[in-house]
Amino acid sequence: MILVDLFLTGVVVSLACALPGLWLMLRGMSMLSDALTHSVLLGIVVTYFIVGDVSSPWMFIGAVLSGIITAVFVDRLQQRNVSADAAIGLVFAGMFSFAIILITQFADDTHLDLDAVLLGEIVFAPFDRMVIAGVNLGPRAMVMNGIALLLSTVCMWVFWKELVYTTFDATSAVLVGFSPAVISIGLVTLSSFTVVTAFDAVGAILVVALMTAAPASAFLLTFRLKTMVWLTMLLAMSAALIGMVAAMWLDVSVSGAMATAAGVQFVAVWLLAPKRGLIARAFERRGLRHEVVLLAHLMHLASHHIDAEPHRVHASEQCLRELTQRGWIDERRMLTASGYARLNDVGTRK
Amino acid sequence: MIDSVFLVIAVAAILIGGISGALGVVLVLRKRSLLGDAIAHATLPGVALSYLLFGKDPLMLVVGASIAGIIGVALVVLITNTTRLRTDVVMGMMLAVFFGVGMVLLTYIQKLPTTGQAGLTSFIFGQAAAVVWDDVVLLIAFGAPMLAVVVLAWPIIHAFCFDHAWVEVRGLPAFVVDIVLMLLISVIIALGLPMVGALLMSALLVAPAVAARQWVKSMSAMMVLAAIIGASGGLVGAYLSATFERVPTGPTIVFLCVMVALISLVIAPRVRTHVRRGPA
């Protein structure tokens, strides 16, 4: 039962992270997920000092607020001619280091455990149950991330048109009357919410892996957006399951194993993807090279066809054999009708 | 009041701040600030593996961390060059995945019956108290040649940051320059890990450079100023954490440098970075 809860939690967290992660990636904002996971800690710490309770809803509000502040700060710095990457690096480092200083200062009377917050241990998730009005709803992490997942799914559904427009064609989005800025802020808010719920369960660093790896893998597999969304969900699920099974088997950090599995899965896609994978493309290049050599022979033979002395052409035996097999030349090395047809096709795609 | 413990930490902090401040200039000018973050996270599996193979030898830990960092950068470049993915998503993924691999290895190590592995997690958050004279010796041993490389190859590095076409036209191996610079950056990150930790080390590269960028025009001046800002951040941070109770050294140094950068952004006069076309 605990195992089932753990697996369910892992899958739900992965899905909840992957969905906003996909849109962040498509909009070129992936590193923001890294910044958010670090800067949100400041929101949690500050709210903790004000409210004094780890599990109050105020924590979420504080964390989401600090996420939005991060995005706004990064935007402001960019307007001051700081490049986007330096701005992100600066803002999250400032907020994160301040959070750690605060935690260390008041370490004795804090229930905030730095290791747990950042490195996370999902193994304990099934023991922290969410009980409302006496009804046991399941692990808190699962319920919270389920809410986040539901929220992003609904938002994606409702605002699909706006998202697609502002992501891929901001100019015409403005013309149609969609504001890219509003959609961006909405996405950042949703991402902050997801980051907070997720890193409570699996730790900050794994959240970054979950938000980037599955979308990046799906991106390599298809050009179609809807297919990409489904593939992202599928790959997020499979990486989570593989990682958790491996972690159980080897008895190592579950969060770490899930991140590792996501990475291994990406490398597998990168190398093995049909058509666009590294290996498929290498084969394709080799095939193309061979085709070009064959065509060069065919052209050479054709040019000697005119002076009717194709038997005197110096040519590789293997190529001649293959040309004959394809029916492009006859036994006197004269081009056949289909040979000429192939030559006429050169320059047009098959 | 200057005791030897403080002296060690202060000297190490000044050296780390100074060297990383100077080298960070390259990252910021090349718009690769986040690559430092990726390298810093990617070092973790290197630290863990080198501990598994060689035990707690500070030199081997630095070597292992640097190699892992370089592999991380190489993978980022390789994946970006062979796919349609943007660099940012590849970097985010690599830093998180490498960190995850590091976590797996660390949890594996913690179950080994050998003793003395307790200090390994300090590579994540950094722990100034664990810094000893050996680390300072390492910093000097690695820092001096790094400085020499930067000074000797200055024209190439300068051109590499601003005029990529020139580097290629001159027939200089831009690829090699890139690798050497990334290697230097990996090494200083690896050296800074014990004190500042993997999570914040990249900020020590970026913040002083961004701060210096606001005050000066030339790259040499920027590098010197960034080194000074980094070193003073190190000194003041070390002093604050030694004087007051429960002030963590690494995060304080980083926080100071980020504050200097932010304040510089607000108050520095706008330095013209390019010649403005005059009227008519």
Could you write out the DSSP letters of every residue in A198-247?
HHHHH-HHHHHHHHHHHHHHHHHH-S-HHHHHHHHHHHHHHHHHHHHHHH
- CB contacts of B211 in chain A (<8 Å) are none
User: Which of the two residues, A68 and B110, has the higher pLDDT score?
Assistant: A68
Query: Residue A214 has which token pair?
Result: 């599955």
Assess whether A287 and A180 both reside in one domain: no
pLDDT digits (tens, 9 = 90+) for A21-51: 999 999 888 888 888 888 888 888 888 888 7
The ipTM estimated for the assembled molecules is 0.85
Q: Which of A64-68, A140-144, A160-164, A306-310 has the lowest mean pLDDT?
A: A306-310
Of A85, A101, A263, the CB nearest to B247: A101
Kindly state the average pLDDT of the residues B135-141.
Answer: 88
* Per-residue pLDDT at A109: 54
Inform me whether the pLDDT recorded for B275 exceeds 70. no
User: Inter-chain contact A263–B33, Cβ cutoff 8 Å?
Assistant: no
- Is residue A247 situated within a structural domain? no
- The structure tokens listed for A62 are 């504080």
A335 and A194 co-located in one domain? no
Chain A residues in contact with B28 by the CB 8 A cut-off are: 83, 86
> Helix axis angle, B87-110 relative to A30-51, nearest 10°?
60
Mean pLDDT score of chain B, rounded to an integer? Answer: 85
Residue A252 has its nearest CB partner, among B82, B104, B121, at B104
- Domain match, A307 and A170 both: no
What the block records as the tokens of B57 is 């030898």
Lowest-pLDDT choice from A193-207, A247-261, B65-79, B175-189: A193-207
What φ, ψ does residue B196 adopt, rounded to 5°? -100, -30
Task: Identify the DSSP state of A132.
Answer: E
Look at residue B259 in the predicted model and tell me its pLDDT.
93
Of A197, A53, A146, A194, nearest in space to A138 by CA: A146
What is the rounded average pLDDT of the residues A273-295?
A: 85
Average of per-residue pLDDT across B121-144: 81
User: Which among A161, A194, A212 is the end of a domain?
Assistant: A212
Digit-coded pLDDT (tens) for B114-132: 655 556 667 777 777 777 7
Whether A234 is in a domain gets the answer: no
Say if residue A143 is in the same domain as residue A10. Answer: yes
Domains of chain B: 4-265 (1.10.3470.10)
On the question of pLDDT at A110 being above 70, the answer is no
**Inter-chain CB proximity A97 and B85 less than 8 Å:** no
A63 & A206 share domain: yes
Is residue B179 within 8 Å of B33, Cβ to Cβ? Answer: no
pLDDT of A348 above 80 = no
**CA A308 to chain CA mean position, Å:** 60
Chain B nearest CA to A151, separation (Å):
23
In a domain, A82, yes or no: yes
| Number of compact structural domains in chain A | 2
pLDDT-derived band of residue B93, with 50, 70 and 90 as boundaries? very high
The Cα–Cα gap between B274 and A281 comes to 43
Assign 3-state DSSP to chain B and report helix, strand, coil percentages, each to 5. Answer: 80, 0, 20
Are A131 and A27 within one domain? Answer: yes
**SS3 (DSSP) at A137:** strand
Domain annotation covers residue A270: no
> Across the interface, do A30 and B79 touch by the CB < 8 Å criterion?
no
Judge: B93–A256 Cβ closer than 8 Å, yes or no: no
Picking from A85, A94, A96, the nearest residue to B32 by CB comes out as: A85
Q: Count other C-beta atoms under 10 Å from residue A261's C-beta.
A: 25
Chain B CB contacts of A251 under 8 Å are: 111
Output the pLDDT for position A220.
Answer: 92
Residue A273 is assigned to a structural domain of this protein: no
Q: Could you tell me which residue, B41 or A114, shows the higher pLDDT?
A: B41
Contacts of A69 (CB under 8 A, 6+ apart): A39, A43
Gap from A35 CA to chain B (nearest CA, Å)? 10
Expressed as residue numbers, the domain containing A322 is 279-345
* Closest to B62 measured CA to CA, from B140, B122, B138: B138
* Predicted pLDDT at A119: 66
Residue A230 lies in a domain: no
Among residues B163, B152, B167, B271, the alpha carbon closest in space to that of B221 is found at: B271
Domain-embedded: residue A105: yes
pLDDT beyond 50 at B278: no
Which stretch of DSSP H or E encloses residue A139?
Answer: strand A135-139
pLDDT tier for residue B133 given thresholds of 50, 70 and 90: confident
Mutate to test the interface with A, among B79, B82, B107, B200 (most CBs of A within 10 A): B107
HSE-up of residue B153 (Cα within 13 Å, Cβ side): 21
Residue that is last in its domain, among A196, A212, A228: A212
Q: With bands split at pLDDT 50, 70 and 90, how would you rate the model's confidence at A88?
A: confident
Last residue of a domain, one of A161, A179, A212: A212
Q: What's residue A32's pLDDT?
A: 84
Q: What is the mean pLDDT of residues B137-164?
A: 86
Residues 6 or more apart in contact with residue B109 via CB below 8 angstroms: B48, B51, B52, B117, B120
What local confidence, expressed as pLDDT, does residue B60 receive? 87
Phi and psi (nearest 5°) for A253? -55, 125
Give the pLDDT of residue A333.
Answer: 78
Secondary structure of residue B273 in the 3-state scheme: coil
On whether both A184 and A101 belong to a single domain, the answer is yes
Q: Work out the pLDDT band at A175, boundaries 50, 70, 90.
A: confident
* Residue closest to B76 by CA, chosen among B64, B62, B63, B89: B89
CB contact under 8 A, A93 and B79: no
DSSP string, B197-244: -TTTHHHHHHHHHHHHHTT-SSHHHHHHHHHHHHHHHHHHHHHHHHHS
Question: Would the CB atoms of B104 and A260 count as touching at under 8 Å?
Answer: yes
Cα–chain center distance at B42: 12
Answer yes or no: do A159 and A56 share one domain.
yes
The minimal CB distance from A94 to the residues B32, B107, B262 is found for B262
Say how many C-beta atoms besides its own lie within 10 A of residue B117's C-beta. Answer: 17
Q: What pLDDT is attached to residue A307?
A: 62
Mean local confidence (pLDDT), A188-206: 83
Chain B residue with minimal CA distance to A77?
B265
* Residue A260 in domain: no
Is residue A203 located within the same domain as residue A286?
no
